[in-house]
Every structure is written in structure tokens, then in C-alpha cells.
Structure 1
Amino acid sequence: MKRESKKLAFVFSILALSSCSTEEDFTENKTVQELDKISPKDEKSILKEKFAFSLMKSIKESPGLREIIKDETLKMFNKDYEVLVYTIKDYTLENGMTLEQTINQNADSNFQLSNLLRIEPTLTLLVPELPLESFSAKKWNTQSEIPAVAIRTNYTNQVPLITPDLNLEMMPSDVIPGFPVIVVKNNERVVSNLENPNIRDLKTTTVFEKDGIIMKFWTDSFNNADKRKARLLIHPDRTLISAYTIYDEQSPNLNGWQRDFIYYKIQPSSSNGPFIYDFKEHLRSFSMTGDPTNAYNRISDQTGDPTFRNNHRINTSHWTGGFYEFKVRTIINAKNGVGNELINGFTVSPDDLFFLEYETYTKGTLFWEKTYYRLKNISNKTVYVDLPLINWDLDEYASSIKIEIEEVDLTITSVITDTRTVKFATNFGIDTALGVKTKIGLKFGASVETIQTQTVQKTFTQGNNFLGEAIVNFADKVIIRKTNLRNMWVTRDYITGSGYCEFSIEPKKVQ
């Protein structure tokens, strides 16, 4: 069966806008031909568009398909409301055919879903959380609500939107829909053997393996099977408070290291101690810094080229990507000369990372009049992450680590080198009474620390938004001061050299 309508005109005429909106607000709309002249589409984009048209028709015909998409995205397999098309393509619909067979039937005769999945195995459906609870997977009434289908692209910050009447519109980059919509996109948290031929060496959970396709999380931080939840402690652990009390209140002139007490129980009255595995460094909090509009635009564009219009509207097309994904790279230098990187990550919803205030607009044609939102005001806020990093044993690792943070848009990586000069503590020996290796003395002890220049191989993802790096020293204070409020303490924050974000690194009790 052919698509009943092949209309590709962008029916974006405006019948009703709020008082501060004019037709000029929508002048970014372009025809297919104009867009192709600016950024010609590659094979993936063309096939994805054909898939989206067929998906729209299939969704319109099948309440069962709508229910499948809702139920599967509510599982949040990767901590967002997403489902891999590969994992549901063999589900049977009420017409007796599989999802794949239905898509193929409703598409152009030269389209086969298998051809798209062969080059885009992480093809994903997202049910976004839209502003002011206007639509979400939780709120979706699959019997009465037929969502439009949006396409997340890399050739424009505008959003191609296929309406239930099979018209294709280009949504401006600074508006967010306030009506039911699902998004066709790639998955930023899953990598396949297409992008990584050595995927079997990746020590993370396998998401899918069938027909020669293997997909894994690139970090298990995105695996929703891990039920550990981020937890905000009202007060720091008593050990951290004791370390602050010992070195900053009782012996302020000593200027000792708080982590000496946390990891070795070393203090002025007891200057030797074995390493204690009770604590591990954690990235505890994260926030964007500086002008909030610039911060939002930096991590919210699709193409790497944020769109700023004459009225300085905020680019909001990132709603098509779901929650933000942040990669945290911890660069560690070991005493044996072998450098290492620890790759981790966390997800944050836009509403958790920013205070967002919206304006409401109505636009459309006689048959398609819908509500849209624009961001009116935006400000930064701090999100609590609780991401585990390393047990910091100075006998194994250098006295400083580097933390790099980037917002993830792609998963294809290359390898580059990172060279820096680091210090290693040498004040370790065997405690004959205990028979264990012991740190001897405060700080670096009586011996002179050794200095080495080491090179670490690290992965680099072109297309991600690099937010900067900061050096964390073992000697840095964890708690820096008390507040005037009872039992309230201030811990140290690190601002990246680029100034785009800040975070806190703190030891946290893990056993």
C-alpha cells in the first residue's frame, strides 16, 4: 500500500499567535529543495525520513502500536523514555503483521526497514517530556491521542515534523510542541558493532545481540537495571566533618590533608596508617555556569551550530534528544607508568539542570491548530549526581587526577593522547606489626615526592560539546568551611578552565 498523501509542502501558515508573536517568528521555514541546497541529505537522513512517514501512518492506523511504544518507553531501559526499534520490530500488531512488516507495507515501495537498521542499528523512538506536563509517556492516552512524528537531524536545528494528516512541516528551532509527538532519533547511550568493531572488548552490559548486530551501553551508568539512585545527603559523612575538624579547626597551622584522614585515618597524633577502602571519590554535584542562555544553547543544539535569531530566541530543538547525556572522563596516572582513563556518564533532564519559564503560542492551519512553547526566561541550577569514580590510593595513583566533561551527541570515538606532569607520593612502607602497606607521615612525609611526565591514551568524540576540564588534587580540601546554620557545611567546587560548568568531587562512604 502506498502512502496516501505525498505532500511535502510545509504548511506552516499562521492563523493565531499571541500578542508578542508575528509571522516573522516563523520565517526560518524552508522548502525541501531549499534545505537540500544548504545541507544535502545523506542516505541515512533520506531513509530516516521515509521511515518517519511510514511510522506516522502506522501509528495513526494502530492503537496497538501506540500502546507498544508507550509501554516500552516507560521501561526507560537507558534512563530515558526511549526504545530501540530493533527490540520491537518483531512485535505483532492487531493486523496480524509485525511492526517491521507494517512499516514496510506503509512505506514507499523502495523502502525496507532492514536497510535502515543495517546502517542505523541504534534507531530509537523517544516519547519526550514536554513543557508544563502537556505530553509525556506517562500522560499519553493511546486510545484517543495520535502523536505527530518528529525527526532529530544533524543537518538543521529546525525539526522536521510529520503531522497525522501526513504533511511535513519544519518547526523553528526555538519552539517546543505542546501536543502529542514522538521523535525518531539515534541513541546516544548505546553503541553498536557498526561504530565499534571491538565492541566485545567493551566491559559493559549488552543491550541487544541478534542477526550479527551487537549493541552495548558505552557506560553502565545509563543502564536502568542498575537501581542505585542519586541521593542528596543533608549533612556530609561524619568522617569528612572529622577530617575538617582535625586539620582546619584543631590544627589550622598544620594545613594537613583532609583525605589523609578519610583514606588512611592519619592525623597529627597518629601519622601512619593503611589504606581504607570504605570511601570512593564521587562526582556529587554538577551545574552549568555563566550566562544561562549561552549555557543552554551550547548543549541544546543538534548540529553544533546554535541558531541565534534577530530577537535572540533560545534554541530549544534539543527536546528531540530527550534527557541530556554527559560523559565524565577521569584521567588517572598510575605509579607503574601506565596511564588510564575511567569513562562514566550521567543523565539530566532539562528541567533538573535549568529553571525554565515558557511563553505559550498557538499556530497552525484550519485543520492543524496546536499549542507551542518558547522559552521566556532561563537560569542555571545545580543537580546532584552521585557518580562513583575511584578509590584514591596514593600508593597506586598520582596525587592529582583530571576530570573532563562533555555533553554527548555522538558515540563514535577516536583515540588521542593526554600528556601531563604529575606527582607521586613515596612515603609508604610495611608496618611490621600489622603486616600491611602503610602510608608513613602526613602529606608527602619526610621523603621527597617523585615527579613524572606521563602520556595517557584517551577517547575523543568529535561532535560532542566539550565543557572543559579541571584538576583535582588529593591535597584539596573537601569541606572548606562551616556555615552559620547548624550542621551545614560548604564543600569545594571545581570550575572547568573553559568556564562552562562546575562540579564537586567528594569522597563518599561505600561500605
Structure 2
Amino acid sequence: MKKLLFIFASMFFMFACTQEEENLLPTNEKATAETSKLNTAEAQLRFAKLLSQAASSSVEVRNFLKKEAIKQFDNDYDIFYPIVKDKIVTDGKSFKDILLSYCNTPNELTEIEQSQLLLNILIPDLTLFWNFNAEKWDTNNKEIVVLCRDDERDTMYENGENIGQMEKGNIPGFPCLVVKNNERLNIKTINTRSGEITYEFISDAYDRSKRIDKPATRHSERDDALEPTENLTIGIASSEFKANIVEAWNELKNIRGAYQRDYIYYGITKDNKPGILNRNIREELYRFRIQPEAFTKISDQDKVDPTLQTPTQEKRYLTYDEIMKKIWSDGMFEFRFKSYIASDNNDKAMEHLLTFSVDPRDLFSIEKIHVKHKNSTAFRHSKNFYSVNPANLKSKWYYPAKHSYTQNSVFTLPWDLYSKSLVIHLFVEEHDDAQEKKESRTIVNEFVNKADFSIEGGGEIDKIKLTAKLGYGISSTKTTTTVTEISTTLGSDNLGVLSFFYHDPIIKSESNGLYNVYSVFNGTVEATLLPKDILK
């Protein structure tokens, strides 16, 4: 609970209303209480003129202000006017009495008080620049300048006279006081009958009575947790599969030398009878992720690739939604996956390009965000700075089909082992616009023994002869090397190659109804291919 701080009231109203029920207004209705027509800057300037006269003319006033500031009731060198105005300064005169002696009209100070219910005097801590703060103020020196926080012209008053404007961005090299509203307090309620006002601290961190250690420093830094980290190893539900993958797992998981894709592509069961190629099955890029260590590499194109920003906010902290909106710059990463499956006749190699525009928020989570807080001073509001160390980025799985890439995320031809390699190669890059270039890549391919297949036994559809696989597994293979040409650009970031084999498992294990599926990882990119029935 925030501590209720002070209660002030006119003595006349206090006695007049002792028998009446209090009529309290909450803070957001305080404007209905008596207020003058002075705006904040006007009221502060009038008060600054009076204060400068009082401070320049009386060492007792200067000593009084110094003593009150050193108390640091809100953990800063603040002198809250509603607290101190009725305190005796000298010769039985209160601080308010002394200020009234410099007023041109009896109502001048009342108008200021009514318009500025949080009126405050700050002795700024300028020890970062020169030897001045409340403790170090030599009050025997009557030269003291008064400025106002909300005066855009930065007018300086000395002994009631306007002595000019301080240049923007300058730090005073002379003793000074700053008139401002206290930003560490809120108005809790206003009693319109009694004139009573109650205040509370915005945070217990500002309440000196609750401080048990050193006062808060002017600046602080910390790391805050921001987003939960995704569990990259959790299994997936059977509803995610778009082919009979679970059936293949259950049918062949205990059969040595049998491949799950034999069941899916050719319908070969544990009975090991010949099966015909199902030409409706394709390999789908089910998901992929990028290692956070690659972030600097893929965000290198200025004003195009998304980058991490350092947003700031005055007076308050940003909300989670505001941070997530501001911490990333505009733009999308463009990832390209070029698939290549060699043919025993190289002129008929199967190639297909998959392109995805990805929001960085879908690719990385931010585990921690660094917050640097600068407290308010006489010359600026409090300010918070937000930044992210790339080491605090965590990888997330990206699912193309969940981002409307359902047609583009499958390969165009079935994986026919009679004429195609056992290996699908995926060349991955983060694409940046620049001059196109061609690159030659040498890859290793693996082909099955034709003796494992029969064309005659496969039949035909629309005069296309279908191959029949004579049983699960492969009796023997042959390895070849081919050179393929990759189209890319000078600015694109090569993220390596992923190689998937027909005989790789699809499901590796099952636990509590979730399935752990096989993925390929090259140190930068990890991806999962799953067979998909295009008719489902």
C-alpha cells in the first residue's frame, strides 16, 4: 500500500465543518475544487519571482530551504510547498508570511496555491558538473537564481528581476532553485467543504520513511524478464499431421530396416508386400527456426532488415505491448529455401523455391530487456531507456502453414525414388535486394538400386507409368556428385544447407500423446519436413 502522506486544510474550514459530513473528491475530480485561471507556467513564474526575492533578501530563508531540502522526504532534494508553507522561518513569520510580503496583491499567492496543488521547490544536484547541491550550498552567498521547469523560455529570476533566459541544453554553473510540480506525489482526495487535501506517494520507493538502506540513486539499471522462452523440444499433436504419419509409426517402429516413408509413399506394411507410389504425397516444410547467434548477420541490410531499437519514454515506464511494438523496427526478414533433388538424369532434377516474409517477433522471443532509468532533475523529466542484448534473444519455431503459406510450403513433385535421389537438399538464405549472381554448389546424392522397383507392376494413371516398390528398406545404394547452380544476390546471407534423407525417421518417439519429430540442424537453421497428402 502507498502511504497516505499529508493532510492540509484551512483552519477556518476545519472548525466550521467539524460537525458536517466530509465531501471528498477523488483525484480525477479535483478540478472541480477552487482553482484559478493561471496555467502551470504562469503560476510557476509568479512564484519564482516571489521566491527569488525572499531567498536573495534573507539568509534565514536560504538556511530554511537548505534544511528542508536535506531532509529528502521523497528521496530527492525536494521542498514540497504544502508541507513547509506554514513552518516558522524567523521572527515568528512562516515561509508563506515571508512570500506574502513580496506580493503585489493579497490574492496573488492564493491564486498560485490554488492552481498548483503539487507546488514544489527543488535544489538541483549538479555535482556531476560542479560543486553544488543542497548540502554544499553556501547560504551566506545571497546570489541565487530561480528557474521554472515548465517555462519553455527558461527565464531566470534573481531578487525578483528577470535577468534573461538560460540557453537550451545548458547546465547552470551557479547556485539555483527550480520551481516545479512534485512528480513523486499524487493528490489522493480534495474535501471541498473543509479545504482538506490528502496526498500519497506514487511509489513506496519515494517514501523516505520506508527507506531502510541507501537512498535511490539518480540513475538505475536492471534486466527485466519480458517474454517466456519457447520449449523447442516439446512434441506435437497428431492433429498436426496431414498424412498417415502416426499409422506409419505404429506399423513400422519395431521393424528393423523399414522406413516410415515406405508406408506413407508406397503403402508398404510390416507384411513387406510391394506397394505403388502415392503421387498425392509431398514433403512439406512444416517448420523452421533460426539460431539467435545469426541475428546480427541477417539484420545487416540497413533500413530493410528488422533491427532492435532503443525506445525511450519520459515520466513513466512502457507497458509490455508498447515495448513489443517499439523494440523492433519496421520490416520483415525474407527467407528463401531452395530445394534440390537430383535425378539419375541430371536434366530432370527437381527444384523448387520457397520464400517466406517473416516478422522478427515470430522468429525470436526476447527473454530479457535492459531498462536504464534516469530520475528527473531540475532540467528534465525522468526518462527510461530500453535495449536488448542479442544474447537475450531466444529462438522460436516458425510454422509457414500457420501464416497463410499453405500452397507455397510444399514441394511440387512426389518423391519418386525410382528416378530421384534419396536426398533432398535445402539451400537457405536470408534474401537482401542487390545485384543477382549465380553460385555453383557441389552436392552429394544417393540413389537406390533399381532392382528394388518394378515399373510393370506399378500400373499407370493417365498413361503415366507408376513404379512399385518391392518391399520396405533398400537393398543397396550408389553415391554420385553433381554441381547445381544457385541464384542469389550479392547482399544475401548464406545460412547453409540442410540435407534430408528418405530413410530419416519422421516420428522419433511418443510421450503422453505427443510426438517427437525428426529435424535437421546445421548450426544456424533447423527445419522439419513432414509428408503431406495434398488431398487432405
Please report the TM-score for the alignment, with normalisation by the length of structure 2: 0.43
Please report the TM-score for the alignment, with normalisation by the length of structure 1: 0.45
Larger Rg computed on CA atoms: 2
